[in-house]
């Protein structure tokens, strides 16, 4: 047995090969055990913390943690195998690179899970609370993780990462000048994050005429969905100096319209009609009671013009349309009740 174990096969002895296969088999079992208990612990934690609504993929998290811990044990156990120094050196270097990649995958998942958690908590407070902050921090965190991973991988290849970082510092001015537009966009995203001129879902209009709903804010650009359902990409650097008209932050939405009634309507009927419309507005809980106007505004050929200005208490465009429909329908019913005859809209053009 001693002679058989010391026989060489493909650069290693039979004993060394046996140790490698035994270690791999043990780590496969260890990986499966870690995956099983990780899923159970995560499920128990989510239930105890009332976070089961997060819908986190427990299997995906277990697939990140299990291989990571198993590979870490592989690196720790490598010296026990007793490999030749040159083989041990290259195998350790290759193992460190794979461990770094597995760590990046796990870190990415944890970053997404944390972002998902804070998005869930923000949703409980306000539908638009920090919709920009959380995705930006998520992307920034992943970028930082990648940079750290590149440093470790570079060290595994015996690259002088400290000298490289120092060289980047010396050449920072040239790099900054060459990438000034990219840096402007990054600082623009920071400005958007701090000032919060808009939120995800807000309808905005820029001073160059671009109009759309904000659907995403990245490190480089902000994306808008236009009225014709196309995607407009706006560099964040240009947004820092732009005049932004944010329709989504309006506390109320304005209705201004003209009601044309028949020219033969008597004066007291006109006054009564205006008074009844004011009564409708006062009863509406979604209308600003102190800020509406209903007046006999003009005499037109063939028509009397009554001007109506009101403000709906809502930030949503769809809700505004619903309130408009309800109010105008009530006014039509009022004309039927008071027997007020509406005039031909074309009479105002004569």
pLDDT by residue, tens only, the chain of 350 residues: 455 555 666 667 777 788 888 888 998 898 888 888 888 887 777 677 666 555 566 777 778 888 888 888 888 888 887 778 878 778 888 888 888 888 888 888 888 877 777 766 666 555 454 566 677 777 778 888 888 888 888 877 777 666 655 555 544 544 444 456 666 777 777 787 777 888 888 888 898 888 888 888 877 888 999 888 899 999 888 888 888 888 877 778 888 999 999 999 999 999 999 999 999 998 887 888 778 899 999 988 889 999 999 998 887 777 888 999 999 999 999 999 999 999 876 644 44
β-bridge mates for residue 246, sequence order: 204
Domain membership flag for residue 296? yes
Nearest by Cα to 222 from 209, 208, 207, 240:
240
Q: How many residues does the chain have?
A: 350
Q: How far apart are CA 215 and CA 196, in angstroms?
A: 14
- The pairing of strands 303-312 and 253-262 is antiparallel
31 & 154 share domain: yes
Domain membership flag for residue 4? no
257 & 312 share domain: yes
Task: Please give the residue range of the domain that contains residue 345.
Answer: 253-349
261 & 317 share domain: yes
33 & 70 share domain: yes
Query: What pLDDT score does 274 carry?
Result: 94
Query: What pLDDT score does 132 carry?
Result: 65
**Roughly what angle, to the nearest 10 degrees, separates helices 133-156 and 161-170?**
130
220 & 308 share domain: no
Q: How far apart are CA 150 and CA 271, in angstroms?
A: 78
CATH of the domain at 278: 3.30.70.100
309 & 332 share domain: yes
302 & 220 share domain: no
By the 8 A CB rule, do 282 and 290 touch? no
124 & 237 share domain: no
193 & 219 share domain: yes
Q: Which residues, 6+ apart, have CB-to-CB distance to 306 below 8 Å?
A: 258, 259, 260, 261, 270, 273, 274, 277, 294, 295, 296, 297
> Which structure tokens are listed for 212?
């759309």
200 & 302 share domain: no
Last residue of a domain, one of 249, 277, 310: 249
Domain membership flag for residue 2? no
Domain membership flag for residue 25? yes
Q: Kindly report the backbone phi and psi dihedral angles of residue 98, in degrees, each rounded to the nearest multiple of 5, phi listed first.
A: -65, -40
Q: How far apart are CA 273 and CA 262, in angstroms?
A: 12
Query: What pLDDT score does 129 carry?
Result: 46
290 & 338 share domain: yes
In degrees, rounded to 5, the angle at the alpha carbon of residue 179 between the alpha carbons of residues 178 and 184 is 135
CATH of the domain at 200: 2.30.30.60
142 & 274 share domain: no
The total of structural domains in the chain comes to: 3
Last residue of a domain, one of 221, 249, 277: 249
Query: What pLDDT score does 130 carry?
Result: 56
Q: Which residues, 6+ apart, have CB-to-CB distance to 195 below 8 Å?
A: none
Q: How far apart are CA 100 and CA 123, in angstroms?
A: 34
Domain membership flag for residue 1? no
Domain membership flag for residue 167? no
By the 8 A CB rule, do 38 and 61 touch? yes
Domain membership flag for residue 320? yes
Domain membership flag for residue 171? no
Residue 89 CB neighbours (<10 A): 11
β-bridge mates for residue 298, sequence order: 305
Last residue of a domain, one of 210, 226, 249: 249
């Amino acid at each position: 047995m001693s002679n058989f174990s010391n026989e060489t096969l493909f650069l290693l002895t039979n004993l060394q090969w046996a140790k490698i296969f035994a270690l791999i088999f043990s780590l496969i079992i260890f990986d499966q055990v870690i995956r099983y208990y990780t899923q159970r612990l995560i499920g128990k934690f989510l239930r105890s913390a009332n976070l089961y609504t997060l819908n986190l993929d427990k299997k995906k998290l277990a697939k990140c943690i299990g291989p990571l811990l198993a590979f870490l044990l592989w690196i720790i156990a490598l010296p026990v195998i007793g490999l030749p120094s040159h083989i041990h050196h290259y195998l350790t270097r290759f193992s460190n690179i794979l461990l770094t990649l597995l760590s990046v995958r796990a870190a990415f998942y944890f970053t997404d899970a944390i972002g998902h958690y804070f998005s869930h908590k923000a949703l409980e407070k306000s539908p638009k609370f920090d919709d920009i902050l959380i995705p930006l921090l998520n992307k920034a965190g992943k970028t930082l993780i990648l940079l750290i991973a590149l440093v470790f991988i570079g060290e595994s290849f015996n690259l002088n990462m400290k000298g490289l970082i120092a060289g980047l510092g010396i050449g920072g001015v040239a790099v900054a000048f060459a990438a000034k537009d990219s840096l402007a966009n990054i600082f623009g995203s920071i400005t958007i994050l701090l000032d919060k001129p808009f939120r995800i879902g807000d309808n905005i209009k820029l001073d160059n005429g671009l109009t759309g709903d904000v659907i995403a804010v990245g490190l480089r650009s902000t994306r808008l969905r236009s009225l014709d359902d196309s995607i407009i990409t706006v560099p964040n650097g240009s947004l820092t100096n732009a005049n932004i008209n944010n329709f989504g932050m309006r506390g109320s939405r304005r209705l201004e319209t003209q009601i044309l009634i028949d020219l033969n309507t008597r004066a007291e009927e006109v006054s009564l009609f205006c008074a009844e419309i004011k009564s409708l507005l006062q009863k509406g809980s979604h209308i600003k009671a102190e800020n509406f106007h209903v007046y006999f505004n003009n005499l037109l050929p063939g028509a009397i013009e009554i001007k109506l200005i009101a403000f709906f208490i809502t930030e949503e465009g769809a809700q505004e349309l619903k309130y408009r429909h309800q109010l105008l329908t009530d006014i039509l019913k009022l004309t039927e009740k008071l027997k007020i005859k509406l005039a031909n809209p074309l009479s105002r053009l004569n």
